[in-house]
Structure 1
Amino acid sequence: MAAQARKGGISLPERRNPKKEDEGVIAKLSQSQVVVRGKQAANDAAFVTKKLMKSTGKAAWIAGTTFLILVVPLIIAMDREQQLNELELQQANILGTSAPPPK
């Protein structure tokens, strides 16, 4: 009597045979040559994009720091020169003398 099956218990699904002939349509499609090559192409594209983004970031960093080190001080110096020229011109106009020749 102890060997009788209990009623109302949980029954597990039957195990399927893992043969290729028993696979579903989705499993067959996901293993097709077109899908495999498509996945490989997507992986290759992602790899190239990642490398390109990394090298682009490095190039942007180099360009940005070079701009800050070389160009920004030049712009500041040119602005100071322009302000000095304008100040000399204003002083010459106030004093009534002729403006000094531009440099």
Structure 2
Amino acid sequence: MSTQARRGGVSLPDKRGNPRSSSSASSKSIVSSIAEHPIVARGKQVASDAAYVTKKLLNSTGKAAWIAGTTFLVLVVPLIIEMDREQQLNELELQQASLLGTPSIAPPQK
């Protein structure tokens, strides 16, 4: 029995006696040498930095959109509602004036 703790599952035999192990070892060393190359490390660092900057940019864009949206709701929407009410009141006054027979005043040109 092995002295290492087993984590369950099926244990596979060692491949030390396998003739293909030397070629797989050399391919692993090639892959590991490529993975440890400074250009690959620099590429990983650049990708990590780009992801960090993108995350921060999206976060700040979201905050700016929240501020713009709430400002619009608090300041602009009540103004639009009040302008609509005033327009309806002007139209009602013009309608009443035409029913009463008084000369109607043309609405101001914009």
Give the TM-score band, short-chain normalised. 0.7 to 0.9
Which residue of the partner structure matches residue 80 of structure 2?
75
**Percent identical residues:** 60
Which residue of the partner structure matches residue 43 of structure 2?
38
Picking from 83, 101, 104, the partner of 1:99 is 104
**TM-score of the two chains, using structure 1 as the length reference:** 0.75
Over residues 27-53 of structure 1, what are the superposed CA-to-partner deviations in whole Å (9 max), with x where a residue is unaligned?
A: 211111111101100000100111111
> Aligned pair count?
90
CA RMSD in angstroms comes to 2.5
**What are structure 1's unaligned runs of at least 5 residues?**
1-9
Tell me which of the two structures has the higher relative contact order, counting C-alpha pairs closer than 8 angstroms and 6 or more residues apart. 1
Q: Output the CA distance in 2 between the equivalents of 1:22 and 1:82.
A: 80
**What are structure 2's unaligned runs of at least 5 residues?**
1-11
How far is 1:79 from its partner?
Answer: 0.4
Over residues 44-84 of structure 1, what are the superposed CA-to-partner deviations in whole Å (9 max), with x where a residue is unaligned?
A: 01001111111111111111111100110000000000010
Task: Provide the secondary structure at the position in 1 that maps to 2:31.
Answer: helix
Which residue of the partner structure matches residue 85 of structure 1?
90
- Structure 1 runs of 4+ with >3 Å offset: 100-103
Q: Output the CA distance in 2 between the equivalents of 1:44 and 1:57.
A: 20
